[in-house]
Amino acid sequence: MKPGSVAIVGAAETTELGVVPHLSQIQLHADAALNALADAGLRPQDIDGVATAGNTPTEVAYYLGITPTWVDGTAVGGCSFMLHVRHAAAAISAGLCKTVLVTHGESGKSRVGALPRTIPPSGLQGQFEAPYGIFGPPSQFTIPVLRFLKDRGMTQEQLAMVAVVQREWAAKNPRALYKDPITVADVLASRMIAYPFRILQCCVVTDGGGALILTSADRAKDFPQKPVYILGTGESVETPMISQMEDFGSSRAFRVAGKRAFETAGIKHSDVDHLMIYDAFAHLPLFGLEDLGFVGRGESGDFIVARNTAPGGKLPMNTNGGGLSYTHTGMYGMFALQESVRQVRGTALAQVPGVEVSVCHGVGGMFAASGTIVMSNQRP
């Protein structure tokens, strides 16, 4: 795919976000899809490609009344939607389909029509991790961080600052779940979940969804919204077991996906006006800043503390408030993509002035997978 040859022409989240017990998970997909279709001026019958994770593309296509000629059910966790965007861009470029709908819906909080969460006891994780008391992402995703901090001489206060800065962005966003300001002391005094992680360093748990519509850049100019061009993309996976991650100070999947996205987009770090780094937990932006090459090894903590990513900083990051304060249904990647689209369109609730290029970086599982998308409002 040539940079800028495919564009996002429709984007929307579910009408409601947060606690939505009156909608089932599949209806969250549909609500987001119908909003995105309206945004693009389309009907479900105009769609010929469907991609989703969690629920299957079969369920989503059937429920919406779509007859696709291309489907993608890649499900590698919260960054699946970054991979869907990448695959959709390739499929559109190859002529497999013309107009792709990517959906996310998850009843993460209310668990209405949600999918069961189980670890098979005969699988690798079931045999070699589950017997040691892992209990959901807060007990697993967090395990590398003491090693990360020690090897870099970094502190828990720096880790806490990630949550403080993101709450500042959330305060500007009426749709964010948590908007009240917090301090480093508040974060460190909040309830311990899995030392060194306190509750304010863990993502919120919500219901919601989002959807995107992609088509060729040549067609994109005929749609009502300003096109958001896909400049570059990357993806990779590492391991389904956090204990087997090659380096507890760096994600191989982040490095591979990020490097490929920058290379295919043909951009430098100084070209990036806005950044999203999937933040299920407070350490992810630190890993992301280092692994994507925005800062050197061990510099991510100081970079955050110096307010570079805060409102008014030189690299505005997680401007919706992130998974820590905005929303986190379980597979948050769709919401990171939505915020990048809004910032590039110039329609975000906490809009950064003059955004042309946004980098949107996702994680799946516990450092298990990654996807990176570079977007722009200019076609190269």
Partner 1 sequence: MSDLPLPVPTPETKHFWEGTRAGELRLQRCTACEKAYFPPRPFCPACGSRKVEVFKASGRGFLYSYVIHHRPAPGFTPPYSIAVVELEEGPRMMTNIVGVPQTPEALRLDMKVKAVFAKQNDEISLVHFTPEAA
Residues that bind partner 1 (CB under 8 A): 119, 121-122, 124, 126-135, 138-140, 142-147, 150, 191-197, 241-244, 248
Distance CA 232, CA 271 (A): 13
Could you give the angle at the alpha carbon of 45 between the alpha carbons of 213 and 47, nearest 5°?
A: 30
Closest separation between CB of residue 149 and partner 1, Å? 9
Structure tokens at 53: 């994770």
Beta bridge partners of 209: 105
For CA atoms 337, 340, 87, 240, give the dihedral sign: negative
Closest approach, Cβ 248 to partner 1, in A, equals: 5
Residue in 86, 100, 111, 85 with CA at minimum distance from that of residue 28: 111
Q: Give least dist CB 127 to partner 1, A.
A: 4
Residue 239 vs 309, nearer CB to partner 1: 239
Non-local CB neighbours of 236 within 8 Å, separated by 6+ positions: 252, 253, 256, 257, 260, 369, 370
276 — phi, psi (to 5°)?
Answer: -115, 125
Nearer to partner 1, 155 or 244 (CB): 244
Q: How far is the CB of 119 from partner 1 (least distance, A)?
A: 7
In angstroms, what is the minimal distance from the CB of 290 to partner 1? Answer: 17
In the bound complex, what is the minimum distance in angstroms from residue 191's beta carbon to partner 1?
8
Q: Which is nearer to partner 1, 197 or 262 (CB)?
A: 197
Structure tokens, 317: 């990051």
Q: Give the β-pairing of 369-376 and 357-364.
A: antiparallel
Question: Is the CB of residue 324 less than 8 Å from the CB of residue 203?
Answer: yes
**Distance in angstroms (rounded) separating the CA atoms of residues 47 and 9:** 12
For residues 98 and 217, is the Cβ–Cβ distance under 8 A? Answer: no
Other CB atoms closer than 10 Å to residue 19's CB: what's the count?
Answer: 13
Nearest-approach distance from CB 242 to partner 1, in angstroms:
8
In this structure, are strands 49-52 and 70-72 parallel, antiparallel, or unpaired?
parallel
